Amino acid sequence: MMIKDRLKKISSNPTLIISNNKEISLDQILNRYENDLSKISGARILICKSDISETLSIASAIDGLVDAFALISPTSSIELISSLAKSGNFEAILCDDLLNLDKVKNLPPIFHDLKILANSFTARKIPNETRWILTTSGTTGKPKLVSHTLSSLTRTTKIDPIRGINIRWGMLYDYTRFAGLQVLLQSIISGSTLIEPIFEYSLEKKIKNFIDHKCTHLSATPTFWRKILMTPNSNQINLLQVTLGGEIADDRILSAVSKHFPQARVAHIFASTESGVGFSVVDKKAGFPKNYLKNHPHGIDIKIENDRLFIRNKDVHDKYFGSETMFASNDGWIDTGDSVEVKNDRVLFRGREDGVINVGGDKVYPEEVENILLKHPLVSAARVYAKSNPITGSLVAADVTLVNLKTDENKARKLLQEYSIEKLDRHKSLATIKIVSRFNLNSSGKIVRKV
């Protein structure tokens, strides 16, 4: 079923999206492109639009008609857009005027209006199911294109239009990324309202926007939730659902959001662009129950090999779009790159294998050290990374932000240094600690790791 058909089934919610404080109805989404777009059938289009409602209208008009369309963040560089357009063999780019792509060489034809784009094509065979193309985060290299379908993207979406009309989702992610698209699709397909504050707003203004528009459901990374908890008046958002994803959710953050929003159901989700949504956990404990390895949630398979987590999801493709590079094995298993350990009846995440720090031959997972630091009452956020050393190869270093910005930094460093020696094995203890005022977050709400 196409996205347009899904939307036609929902209840008559008068407001589907509140974007930049402007209310947008379902009819406005569906009726924006009523004219004949049949000439565009079978095409591959790269979409790079900042307006979430316009993009949804475009997707509604072309899903089931075109072969594939890619959702690319409008904050992407021209170089990245050019690279992705070439690797995905896209035939046209639909973008905002302000991107100024028109004069860039070796790009597919540039259009700013879907109707004009459609009239420039010759109709070809309509596909069985349109492919929705998303980019990976690019945290470990150049972003890659991953192919989904509406079916795979909404496999775990809960559809209850009667209940949905009373739900209001807040958007903190980039909607062109996997996590943001999940929030968008969950909201609109269930007949709920999506609240999208102005992107450039400060977090304080976004919180006020959510309060003013009666947000009930909110999803963000653990890092972003820590920022929310420290934002004045954030407890005035009457949340019924708190969702954490994208990073390891430790016991401290799960407990903190539970106390801050006592009426909310708290869930942390394991998902990736390649594997889709793996599973969710709602018992407010770090990691996931060991019995998930046998009783597969949502019909997916989970296993651990050599302390690494693998997922098999029959609804996702097994190679990067526009490439022969496989990210799944021949029998469908995807190596998530996450190191895990089993403790009693729980599977706990240690960290990413591609981020391991080698200290004299011993492995150190930055996330493991960060989780220890985050348990200290002085620390609000932390980033752990490798510091080059001629003897051991690397040592462990950390940047931290403090809960109270007025705290004496020298005393804080001393206390945290002593704390790391006490709580961590010798090779994991911190060689240097730097106090910083804030961390930059990427479009997925994660701390930018490159230092």
Go through the domains of the chain in sequence order and give each one's CATH number. Answer: 357-435 (3.30.300.30)
- For the stretch 8-60, pLDDT in tens is 888 667 899 999 889 999 999 999 998 889 899 999 999 999 999 999 999 99
Let me know: does 95 contact 82? Beta carbons within 8 Å. Answer: no
In the sheet where 288-289 sits, what is the strand order? Answer: 288-289, 346-352, 333-343, 308-312, 301-305
Highest mean pLDDT among 72-81, 96-105, 170-179: 170-179
Q: Longest Cα pair distance anywhere in the chain, in angstroms?
A: 69
pLDDT for the residue numbered 105: 79
- How many CB atoms sit inside 10 A of residue 58's CB? 23
pLDDT at 144 over 70: yes
DSSP string, 73-106: -TTS-HHHHHHHHHHTT-SEEEE-GGG--TT-TT
Q: What are phi and psi of 68, to 5 degrees?
A: -160, 150
Q: Which is more confident, 380 or 126? A: 380
pLDDT tens profile 74-101? 888 888 999 999 999 999 999 988 777 7
Q: What is the mean pLDDT of residues 266-287?
A: 94
Other C-beta atoms lying within 10 Å of the C-beta of residue 228? 22
Query: What's the token pair of residue 434?
Result: 């730097």
Residue 338 burial (C-beta neighbours within 10 Å; 0-12, 13-18, 19+): buried
Average pLDDT over residues 382-398: 93
Q: What whole-number distance in Å separates Cα of residue 270 and Cα of residue 248? A: 9
Question: Residue 161: pLDDT band by 50, 70, 90 thresholds?
Answer: low
Nearest one of 224, 213, 228 to 261, comparing CA atoms:
228
pLDDT at 70 over 70: yes
pLDDT for the residue numbered 8: 86
Query: Mean pLDDT throughout 179-194?
Result: 94
Confirm if 69 and 132 have CB atoms less than 8 A apart. Answer: yes
pTM metric for this prediction: 0.91
Looking at residue 138, what is its pLDDT? Answer: 65
Backbone angles phi, psi at 236, to 5 degrees: -85, -10
Which of 218, 254, 255 shows the shortest CA–CA distance to 234? 218
Treating both helix axes as pointing N-terminal to C-terminal, what angle do 251-260 and 222-229 enclose, rounded to 10 degrees? 40
The pLDDT mean for the chain works out to: 91
State whether the Cα torsion 336-339-342-347 is positive or negative. Answer: negative
Spatial distance between the Cα atoms of 242 and 258, rounded to a whole number of angstroms = 8
d(CA 200, CA 228): 16
Q: How far apart are CA 59 and CA 66, in angstroms?
A: 10
